Chain A
Amino acid sequence: MEIIVCIKQVPETTEVKINPDTNTLIREGIKSIINPFDMYAIEEGLRLKERFGGRVRVISMGPPQAESALREAISMGCDEAILLSDRAFAGSDTWATSFVLASAIKKMGSFDIILCGKQASDGDTAQVGPGISSHLDIPQVTYVKKIESIDNGISRVERMTEEGYEVIELPLPALFTVVKEINEPRIPSLRGMMKARSAKITLWGIGEIGIESAAVGLSGSPTRVVRIFTPPPRKGGQIFHGETSEVVDRLVQLVKDEI
């Protein structure tokens, strides 16, 4: 089975601070990690390989330092890693990013399953996974919490919803975005870490992928960030004191007045 896992390197904190002058993330002094949701995708890829054989290739689009995220994926047991890095990619939105990833995947040859985390912890869009499947024109299931079976090219997965879960059958190749309920990511092995240290990370830019620079980066991104601002803090609520029946009447009256 050919498995491809897409990962993103993100800042370690969940409290990302924004520079108010430039409206960009303040990255200085913050450690970079693999997006936590992508760790579940890597783990699921490795488990599929253990169940069905084959190989797990991991790709990431990002600046040169994203190489360390790919090395970590190799230390966990992924077989190969490709870094998609090019100055032309700078400023890509989710549309352009998923186009780059999908184009690289096409170049990587045949595959059975693409795995992504449900969303990245920095951008929180949850759009890149579905975007890749659209660019590749393959079926997708988001929020997968279990890959039940794969039989004769048909996969059966459980998709988490707010009320419970759906069971979906679909043909491969397909793309799944996974939630944290799917597994518990492994800790790398010492041998894996040693292998990762010297592993070759393939580097592809627009030339290697074979795409036009106009289709990526800012020029390939329909999204425009008009303004980033911090919403004003909410004013404190009102607390009513007194007998319950009286307090309830006042509350009901207040709601009526507001409506």
Chain B
Amino acid sequence: MDYLLTEEQVMIKELAARIAEDKIRPIAAELDKTEQFPREIINILAQSDLFAIFIPEEFGGTLQLQDGRMVGGVLDLCLATEELSKACGGVAVCYAASALGTFPILIYGTQEQKKKYLPSLAKGEKLAAFGLTEPEAGSDASAIKTTAKKEGNSYILNGTKHFITNGAEAEIYVIIAMTDKSKGARGASAFIVEKGTPGFSFGKKEDKMGIRASITSELIFNDCKIPKENLLGKEGMGFIATMRTFDMSRPGVAAQALGIAQGALDLTVRYAKERHQFGKSISSFQGIQWMLSDMATQIEAARALVYSTARMIDAGRGSVAKESAMAKLFASDTAMRVTTDCVQIFGGYGYMRDYPIEKYMRDAKITQIYEGTNQIQRNIIALQLIKEMVK
């Protein structure tokens, strides 16, 4: 399908596709096996300006402001993430998670904060990460226990975050912590914390089922003192900041799912043509053909939803929570279904690690879980549906 991309978006897609094919695919299996953080690939993405595509020009990015407003960025990010995910969903999330950590600064940062942090993020010299989840605060984000206590010109952070993508590899962290527990969800605030700040350390590195090229770590704050200038927005805006960040970043997860699904399907179509049983290519069997057709159709439908949502965000529409949740929900469920069927078509070979396809199935699973489980996405969609009805 022709999505009428701009010339620049076509370039972004081609560039990401070239990096995926030339640099990522040859080492994807090795990264999966060794769980090694792909620093060299990150450097290539950085040199290619791919970390600049969601940051405005005035802060070192390539995005041009129109009427003083940021235009584009989310679709561009989706296109790059999708292409990278075709080769490796793990590498793609290292990239997309930096965007996730950058969005709160883009949305809520003051001019000073943007000037301080965005240029090095746009260059890809530094990676960002977003720290919300805690051992006892997953879907119930309001249950977070990490605190930030104001003392003079500083905040003192205490607590533990876990399952943080890019944890320990990123330099710049946006952390959600309670500034006033008595106010519940309205008592949370967002802070920028730099790696190397005394009292900020890293704990357990997770051993994951999929996206193993990415790193997922525990962040530990022990009387970690940060200047009060590192508060993002105002005190008490932590959850709103989180929700708005996720509204912007969920199409990225959806694009990751899309890339994983498309990458798996591409391998499967080729395999189905090459694999012979009963004296014929298995692609000549209608049972296989219909599976391939269903997969391709579902992926295309997901892509249309993801791109449309990304375009809505880029056009500056205020309320995108429902669409963003739908894109993430639909694309990730599609990825899980498609990759499971791809393994089925590969048969016994598909179950073996010598073949690349089972990795896609493992990588797909996380897209149904992180940045809000698909159950939470359904809650968001339902809430909006009911709200719209009341209006």
Contact = CB atoms under 8 A, between A and B. Distances in A.
Which among A189, A190, A191 has the highest number of chain B CB atoms within 10 Å? A190
A186 interface: yes
B110 interface: no
A194 interface: yes
A187 B62 contact: no
A187 B53 contact: no
Contacts of A197: 7
Contact of A187 (B7, B11, B12, B44): B44
B125 interface: no
A187 B22 CA distance: 9
B50 interface: yes
Interface string B112-144: 000000000000000000000000000000000
A187 B8 contact: no
Contacts of B19: 187
B47 A190 contact: no
Contact of A190 (B22, B23, B44, B52): B52
Chain A contact-residue range equals: under 10
Interface in A192-236: 193-194, 197
Nearest to B15: A190
Interface in B1-51: 7-8, 11-12, 15, 18-19, 22-23, 44, 47-50
B62 A191 contact: yes
B15 A187 contact: yes
A44 B114 CA distance: 36
Contacts of A194: 8, 11, 62
A193 B62 contact: no
B379 to A, nearest CB: 38
A190 B7 contact: no
Contacts of A191: 49, 52, 62
A189 B7 contact: no
A188 B44 CA distance: 10
B18 A190 contact: no
Interface in B307-332: none
B15 A188 contact: yes
A227 B272 CA distance: 43
A187 B49 contact: no
A255 B18 CA distance: 52
A188 B47 CA distance: 8
A187 B52 contact: no
B48 A188 contact: yes
Interface string B129-169: 00000000000000000000000000000000000000000
B81 to A, nearest CB: 15
B275 to A, nearest CB: 25
A111 to B, nearest CB: 27
Contacts of B44: 187
A183 to B, nearest CB: 14
B48 A189 contact: yes
A193 B11 contact: yes
A187 B19 CA distance: 7
Interface string A174-193: 00000000000011111101
A187 B44 CA distance: 8
Contacts of B53: 190
B16 to A, nearest CB: 10
Nearest to B80: A190
Nearest to A197: B7
Contacts of B8: 190, 194
Contacts of B23: 187
Most chain B CB inside 10 Å of its own CB: which residue of A187, A191, A194, A197: A187
Given A194-B11, A197-B7, A189 B49 contact: yes
A197 to B, nearest CB: 7
A189 B49 CA distance: 6
B56 to A, nearest CB: 14
11 contacts: A187-B22, A188-B15, A189-B49, A190-B8, A190-B11, A190-B12, A190-B15, A190-B48, A190-B62, A191-B52, A193-B11
Given A190-B12, A190-B52, 9 more contacts: A187-B22, A187-B23, A187-B48, A188-B15, A189-B49, A190-B8, A190-B49, A193-B15, A194-B8
The 8 closest A-B pairs by CB, nearest first: A190-B49, A189-B49, A193-B11, A189-B48, A191-B49, A187-B48, A187-B19, A187-B18
